[in-house]
């Protein structure tokens, strides 16, 4: 909460105390339209501060006033400080749309950017300039001599008068150039990015340059905004702020248990033959999930979250899979029911979408014009994207069904409704992509769906058993977990309650083959040497997972968490169907360019 003391006609040396309108423009341009409704909040003596009575050293309030006035002047072009020497295209264009005191009309401005396109005519030349701050280019009108060395991709410094265009033109304003300087030439004949349609496959071959296309630049800014808003979402959670943590990327275990990990080895090193030859004295891997380490953080910090890259050595050549991608993960201590966990996920994603909707870059995504770039929408698709956001923000409560119910619904769809699947839905067969899409798009009419309580045999060892109707955990065939299905993209998130009881966890590890044979001491007596770990037999060893079991050995509470495929969710919000086009430098089976 910011409190602003406002009065008129008080002076500090020669600088006026900032008025409420100046304060409003300083904090946000959105406040500038409501300044007339705010009267003076405090009445101060009307005489100026006398130099005689003024203390020799400035007070804290005087220092604050000088600093505030300087900041306001920097943004409002007051005599305190001139306007910044270089402006961003987004600043100029947005101010022109808003009008009023913030408009740069008929004023000299300077921009640094790149030529998106240039049209040279006999009397004039027209150039579209972009600096990455907005998808909309700034149009400049130049003399033929000024445009002689300009071509697509050229880096320039340009200045001139920002003038309103006559009625009937597509743009409302244009820059009447007074000076232009080429700081980086570009050969238009060989520059791969032109003002025409480029297929997604073509652009993926030049990832270092495709960022310069308007829509891909917009995707990068949207990702940045999403990361920023994520911090706000977790920090302002109604049950208390989550703590952001930084788990390691190099791990000693495969969290998911699927064996699809990248193994680390020093450059030029052959496969180590003995333990002493390993760089870390044992095999280490790039992380597939931060969950295990998040549980260690949560044991003390409570509710934690992280957004980190993860790595999967899957040989999946599909638009839904990457070998390196970002995972949003959170862990909540003292959580004992699955409904609370799914409710948390729903709240977070709804809140994040609302925040993004109210940002300029979010509105740019929704209103991006069709220009032949991958991921951009036609007018019909844009309406569909708008509905997608609206349903996420304000739609009905997301549906919850169990895995068993999902299989039964699919089987009835086959026998009663004539549905056809490549893989027949069975309880032991799991849910395939075609099943997930049918569940969310047909059976639930496009409403997001949580599918809960999957078979224990297909899930990792750390999941707690499904709960009974009274909320207690009892051993059974299913575990307390969920997958979140969204229309068109299917699974985007998954989570579970964790097994917090040491005996049960060790038994799960035993059933999943994670308990290793214990090395027998030279004495031949397996009971000699180190004390036996609780709930293990003399010939068993926890190996590299002992630290994880230790979290249960010394004070463990019921807890749960989830992971969200960040890139897949961004694809859902932007209407981009392939995660290879969401990530600027995608890594997937067979490709890791640049």
pLDDT in tens, 198-210: 888 899 999 999 9
The encoded tokens of residue 31 equal 């406040």
The pLDDT, as a whole number, for residue 54 is 43
pLDDT above 50: residue 63: no
pLDDT above 70: residue 188: yes
The model's pLDDT over 104-124, given as tens digits with 9 standing for 90+, comes to: 889 999 999 999 999 999 999
Neighbours of 260 (CB within 10 A): 15
Q: What is the percent of the chain where pLDDT is above 70?
A: 77
- Compute the distance between CA of residue 17 and CA of residue 114 in angstroms, rounded to an integer: 40
**Secondary structure (3-state) at 161:** strand
Mean pLDDT of the chain: 83
- pTM equals 0.82
The pLDDT, as a whole number, for residue 368 is 81
Residue 415 burial by CB count (10 A; 0-12/13-18/19+): exposed, middle or buried?
exposed
CA torsion through residues 38, 44, 45, 47, sign: negative
- Compute the distance between CA of residue 95 and CA of residue 104 in angstroms, rounded to an integer: 7
The pLDDT, as a whole number, for residue 283 is 85
The answer to whether 563 touches 328, Cβ cutoff 8 Å, is yes
Query: What's the farthest any 2 CA atoms get from each other in the chain?
Result: 97
| 503-to-424, 508, 550, 552 alpha-carbon distances in Å | 37, 9, 12, 9
pLDDT above 50: residue 192: yes
The model's pLDDT over 30-57, given as tens digits with 9 standing for 90+, comes to: 444 444 444 444 433 443 444 434 445 5
The model's pLDDT over 445-493, given as tens digits with 9 standing for 90+, comes to: 999 999 999 999 999 999 999 987 655 555 569 999 999 999 999 999 9
Residue whose structure tokens are 């059974």? 476
- Compute the distance between CA of residue 352 and CA of residue 345 in angstroms, rounded to an integer: 11
Domains along the sequence of the chain with CATH:
11-76 (no CATH), 89-191 (2.40.50.140), 215-268+275-500+557-582 (3.30.930.10)
The model's pLDDT over 321-355, given as tens digits with 9 standing for 90+, comes to: 999 999 999 999 999 999 999 999 999 999 999 99
The answer to whether 560 touches 553, Cβ cutoff 8 Å, is no
The encoded tokens of residue 462 equal 């750390």
Closest by CA position to 80, among listed 93, 89, 88, 71: 71
């Amino acid at each position: 909460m910011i409190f602003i003391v406002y009065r008129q006609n008080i002076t500090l040396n020669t600088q006026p105390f900032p008025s409420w309108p100046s304060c409003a423009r300083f904090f946000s341009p959105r406040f500038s339209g409501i300044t007339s409704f705010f009267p003076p909040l405090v009445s101060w003596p009307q005489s100026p501060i006398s130099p005689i009575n003024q203390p020799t050293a400035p007070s804290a309030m005087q220092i604050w006033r000088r600093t505030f006035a300087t900041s306001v002047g920097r943004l409002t072009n007051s005599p305190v400080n001139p306007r910044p020497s270089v402006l961003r295209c987004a600043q100029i264009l947005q101010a022109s749309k808003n009008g009023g005191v913030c408009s740069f009309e008929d004023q000299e401005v300077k921009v640094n950017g790149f030529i998106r396109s240039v049209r040279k005519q006999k009397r004039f030349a027209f150039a579209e300039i972009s600096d990455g701050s907005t998808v909309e280019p700034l149009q400049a009108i130049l003399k033929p001599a000024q445009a002689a060395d300009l071509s697509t991709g050229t880096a320039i410094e340009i200045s001139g008068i920002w003038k309103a265009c006559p009625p009937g033109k597509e743009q409302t304003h244009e820059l009447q150039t007074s000076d232009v300087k080429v700081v980086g030439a570009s050969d238009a004949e060989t520059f791969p990015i032109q003002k025409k349609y480029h297929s997604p496959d073509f652009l993926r071959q030049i990832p270092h340059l495709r960022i310069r296309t308007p829509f891909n630049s917009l995707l990068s800014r949207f990702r940045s905004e999403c990361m920023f808003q994520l911090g706000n979402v977790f920090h302002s959670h109604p049950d208390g702020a989550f703590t952001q943590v930084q788990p390691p990327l190099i791990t000693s275990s495969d969290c998911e248990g699927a064996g699809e990990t990248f193994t680390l080895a020093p450059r030029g090193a052959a496969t180590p033959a003995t333990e002493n030859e390993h760089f870390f004295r044992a095999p280490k891997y790039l992380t597939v999930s931060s969950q295990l380490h998040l549980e260690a953080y949560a044991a003390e910090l409570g509710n934690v979250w992280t957004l980190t890259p993860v790595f999967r050595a899957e040989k999946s050549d599909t638009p839904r899979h990457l070998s390196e991608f970002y995972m949003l993960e959170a862990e909540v201590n003292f959580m004992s029911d699955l409904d609370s966990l799914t409710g948390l996920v729903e709240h977070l994603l709804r809140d994040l979408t609302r925040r993004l909707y109210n940002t300029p870059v979010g509105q740019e995504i929704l209103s991006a014009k069709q220009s032949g770039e991958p991921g951009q929408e036609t007018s019909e698709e844009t309406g569909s994207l708008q509905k997608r956001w609206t349903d996420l923000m304000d739609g009905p409560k997301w549906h919850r069904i169990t895995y068993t119910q999902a299989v039964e619904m699919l089987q009835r769809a086959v026998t009663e409704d004539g549905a056809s699947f490549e893989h027949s839905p069975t309880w032991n067969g799991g849910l395939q992509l075609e099943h997930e899409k049918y569940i969310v798009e047909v059976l639930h009419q496009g409403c997001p769906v949580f599918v809960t309580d999957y078979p224990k045999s297909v899930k990792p060892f750390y999941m707690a058993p499904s709960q009974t109707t009274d909320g207690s955990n009892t051993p059974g065939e299913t575990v307390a977990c969920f997958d979140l299905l969204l229309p068109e993209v299917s699974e985007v998130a998954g989570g579970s309650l964790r097994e917090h009881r040491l005996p049960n966890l060790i038994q799960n590890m035993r059933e999943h083959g994670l308990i290793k044979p214990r090395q027998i001491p030279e004495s031949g007596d397996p009971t000699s040497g180190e004390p036996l770990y609780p709930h293990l037999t003399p010939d068993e060893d926890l190996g590299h997972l002992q630290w994880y079991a230790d979290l249960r050995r010394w004070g463990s509470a019921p807890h749960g968490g989830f992971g969200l495929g960040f890139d897949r969710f961004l694809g859902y919000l932007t209407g981009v169907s392939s995660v290879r086009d969401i990530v600027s430098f995608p890594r997937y089976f067979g490709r890791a360019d640049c």
